Amino acid sequence: MSVLSNFFIKNNSCSFLSSVILASSITPSPTMSMCSTFLPQIPSNFRRNPFFSFPIKPLFSTCSKAFSSQSSKENESPARIGFLGLGIMGSPMAQNLIKAGCDVTVWNRTKSKCDPLISLGAKYKSSPEEVASSCDVTFAMLADPESAVDVACGEYGVANGLSPGKGYVDVSTVDGATSKLIGKQVKATGALFLEAPVSGSKKPAEDGQLIFLTAGDEALYEMVAPFLDIMGKSRFYLGDVGNGAAMKLVVNMIMGSMMASFSEGLLLSKKVGLDPSVLVEVVSQGAISAPMFSMKGPSMVQAVYPTAFPLKHQQKDLRLALGLAESVSQPTPIAAAANELYKVAKSHGLSDQDFSAVIEALKPQFQPSRKE
């Protein structure tokens, strides 16, 4: 993909990566370059603690210079990063930035969720507007299109605090139209905009192993790349705003259907007298093996659903993916059927359970009673 090759060439000259390579006296090998083309990431052996073992100033001063219209002396100071939305995903992402030594300011609708981050060294502001006005770049990880628009464009929203030289990166999962709307409001302030939804769940967020699907201002993409690399293992630049959202929705559409199908399989195996735990093992060894089945299968067999990805968000993503499909007249009957199942699960109070709880919607107590 040409955008990716494009990205690699540019990223290879990024001062952060250069400093990592220099400091470790490693010349990038052709193999490393080739891997980076497909998985543009800092090798994991360099990623875990480069922010402590390498001088961090060059990284931050590079970013600060890029963001600010300040004097060159001020450019020496670290970039100020805002983080809005501290739910299951936002909290560990912000935490990783703080642990890497970044200057982070947080805000969350429910203030108490800021407290653990404040105790780790984060600053706090009482509105998205104040965060955006006091930071060079602001990230947002919000629940859905409505909250993303509200936080970005509403009263005391981000747009009121933005100005030329600043950047806004929305990492929430929303539809393309929402992202374009937010992007337009952000750009009207003179600031730069990047959509960057993530693939990966609670654990990858904690481990800094997310995959960023970005689109929008390429200059901002390059400026925030070092921060994306703290929070993630790879990043894709996909062009115009809307492409990141579309990629994310397609991925989650597949995931939602896979989970629904897996649920049917587990219940069918049990009903015909097989041990569903053995099914999980069989699946894990064959061509349809997926980390998701191995991770979620054992707890699904026990009917426990510790929340990593809330079911309500999976249903939201299916709904948005179906809208995307409809906009281009692409038939998606499997996803449509899966969506109905998640809706049933939601109507039975499973919204805040993990999305694997969709299996409950297939159990007899949730099925419409049949009269013979």
The residues carrying an active-site annotation are 248
> Given the structure tokens 């809307």, which residue do they identify?
242
Q: How far is the CB of 223 from ligand NAP (least distance, A)?
A: 22
What is the number of alpha carbons within 13 Å of residue 160 lying toward its C-beta? 13
Residue of this chain nearest to ligand NAP (CB atom): 87
Q: How far is the CB of 37 from ligand NAP (least distance, A)?
A: 25
What is the number of alpha carbons within 13 Å of residue 53 lying toward its C-beta? 11
Q: How far is the CB of 85 from ligand NAP (least distance, A)?
A: 4
> Which residues form the interface with ligand NAP (CB under 6 A)?
85-90, 108-110, 113, 141-144, 147, 150-151, 172-173, 198, 201-202, 308-310, 313, 317
Bridge partners (DSSP) of residue 192 are 167
Q: How far is the CB of 21 from ligand NAP (least distance, A)?
A: 31
Which of 59, 55, 102 is closest to 223 using CA atoms? 59
Cβ closer to ligand NAP: 279 or 358? Answer: 358
CA distance 197 to 212: 6
Q: How far is the CB of 107 from ligand NAP (least distance, A)?
A: 9
Contact call for residues 300 and 359 (beta carbons, < 8 A):
yes
Burial grade of 145 (CB within 10 A; 0-12, 13-18, 19 or more)? buried
Q: What is the CA angle 152-156-159, rounded to 5?
A: 40
Cβ closer to ligand NAP: 201 or 332? Answer: 201
Cβ closer to ligand NAP: 313 or 346? Answer: 313
Q: How far is the CB of 75 from ligand NAP (least distance, A)?
A: 32
Cβ closer to ligand NAP: 151 or 280? Answer: 151
Residue 4: CB partners within 8 Å, gap ≥ 6? 37, 38, 40, 236, 237
- Sign (positive or negative) of CA dihedral 282, 288, 289, 294: negative
Which of 354, 361, 260 is closest to 309 using CA atoms? 354
Cβ closer to ligand NAP: 143 or 191? Answer: 143
CA distance 72 to 61: 10
Cβ closer to ligand NAP: 3 or 88? Answer: 88
